[in-house]
Structure 1
Amino acid sequence: MDAKLSPNQGLNFSGIGLASGLATGLGIAAVTLDWLANRTPWQGMSLTLPLLVSAVMSAVVGYFVVPMLQKLKAGQIIREDGPQAHLKKAGTPTMGGIFFIPVAVIVACVWSNFAPQVLAVSALTLSYGLIGWLDDWQILRRKSNKGISPRMKLMLQIGFAVAFCVWLMFNQPANITSIALPWVSFALPLGFLFWPLAGFVLVAESNATNLTDGIDGLAGGTVAIALLALGAIVAPTSPELMVFCTALSGSCLGFLAHNRNPARVFMGDTGSLALGGALAAVGLLTNTLVALFILSGIFFVETLSVMAQVTYYKATKGPDGKGKRLFKMAPLHHHLELSGWSELQVVGVFYIIAAILATICIAIAPF
């Protein structure tokens, strides 16, 4: 007798297929980029080996941590005004960032022999992860969608950003304040203006990845793609940071073993704020802000959709205190869901866009 798949089983298979496809694609990309750069994929300072080791370690650690989160009843609170299909996710454990972020940091620090630059970006990553953990913990404790206040979250983000910028100021060359431009051998000298920009990049990038984390596998997969590309771009000048990027990319892939649709765990702000901080820190430290902006295209659009939604609602507010909505719901991925797209369709399309942006960045990088 032929066994028939239930709808949930079919969805599960599709989720596994999407995550497996991404992992395979990034693995092939890492091997190819290593060969093109005259690196062997199995050598220590490569894209491939840290990616694979971190992915396996993150996936394995997750099999122990996720049940612990379930026992602690660290379940996600789902917004009732969101897509109705998300209501069934209530109770899925969150704060998954507490295992895959530390795994990546440990792998990167050990692998790079505790290089100062890796220690600095790791500290910033863990600091932003701590902010996210405080927010997640408050949400769980209060059993509501309200964590720490937006003002408190912003102040903490700015505080850690200032600390990182102070470290940059005293430990990096003076020319770090000049932004390198692709295609031309010219750097835009910003002088003191670089430092407000650096702080803005750190805060904005972390919040952008946080907004992107709203669908199973979306943030983890798109950030994994961006990190691998950023690792390839910085490899010629900063091989230690290449290892950091690929280790974190691999850890995201390991996390997807548990976060792909249907998710067994969410990364929470613990993971999403840390990932954005990591991207921004590496971009600032390696003078690759232009590439970072392109790689962050999806995160940028997601943020713009929220800003446009809020602005339009306030601008059209009538005497009754209610305004009109530009999107059915923001961020953009929720609008697409409410427009009839399935979660897997949204994630698949966003993966493809992220891969195209990564290809563009690698193509214009001055290797």
Structure 2
Amino acid sequence: MFQNMTQVHACPDPTTGDAPAPGEMPACDIYQADWTNRSAVRHGYLPQWGSAAANEVRGTDGSLFAHPLTGQETVVTFQEDYRRWIEMVYVGEVHDFHGVSLRRYVFSQEDFRNDSVMSADWYQDNLPTGLSNLTLMGGFPLFLSKPHFLEADPSVQQAVEGLDPDPESHLTFIDAEERSGVTFRTHKRVQLNAGLKRLRFPSLSRIEALSLATILQRDLNEAETRCVREEVTWDFGLPAEGDEHMLFLPMVRYDEGFEMPASFVKDFKKQVLGSTSAAKTVQVAGPLFAVLLALIGVIIIMRGRRNEQELARRRTHRYSTIHEGDIMV
């Protein structure tokens, strides 16, 4: 989907481009790395977001990060579902995952704050906090949120019945091992919502109206059940003062989870963390060992010199004795 892209572009009209092969859906031409923005537009692509910084393809896929992780940094992942990079912040350490301590990172609150300076970059203007606008990607008013509108504006939550936002169950997080940067456990939890304004359906027959009502789980009143030629309107309980109001209707909520099996963690502790500990031991002991060798070398040299001096003294004494004897003779 993002092949050749250094800036994220979307294909809002999937019917643009060459005729599809049998069995394939119509789509834009494959994006080319040498395209300019103008070339991309000619081939049916548009920049996904409102600035070059927002459109950057950056970060990892979330399986591995630069290490060691100190807990002071943020990590960046590129999220396919969001069509964007996401900054994740450190919130604390998770202890004893099969005997390994992990560092937990969650989505930054800034990514869903539509009153922030980032909102223009992400086309978030005039959106309630807690929603991300994916309309360009979907081709219709499509908005991303945390499940059950967790941490969204109260007005968004109050407009929908049956919500039960829970940070424990609806939070997206990554748990990564400190020294290797490897992700051991993750949950990506998101919700896709349709943005609804008043819907008007002109010239609906009774059967058409009943079919649509079934899809929308709506009971029709007597006026709506008759065969109508005039426009039929459902307002979804929106205020009467204008069409600028929108209801965010949850459509899909999903949780993608992964965690390393216990057997892998066991091997990791033995092969990686064990090697790391040994390396640290060598790293600490190495200089001490070098100093010890140097001291031994100094002692050997000093003893050698002492032996040489003693040998020279003996030779001198012997020579002096023989010389004096010669004189006596």
Identify the structure with the greater strand proportion: 2
Give the structure-2-normalised TM-score.
Answer: 0.30
- Higher RCO, Cα 8 Å, sep 6+: 1
| Bigger Rg, which one | 2
Identify the structure with the greater helix proportion: 1
Give the structure-1-normalised TM-score.
Answer: 0.28
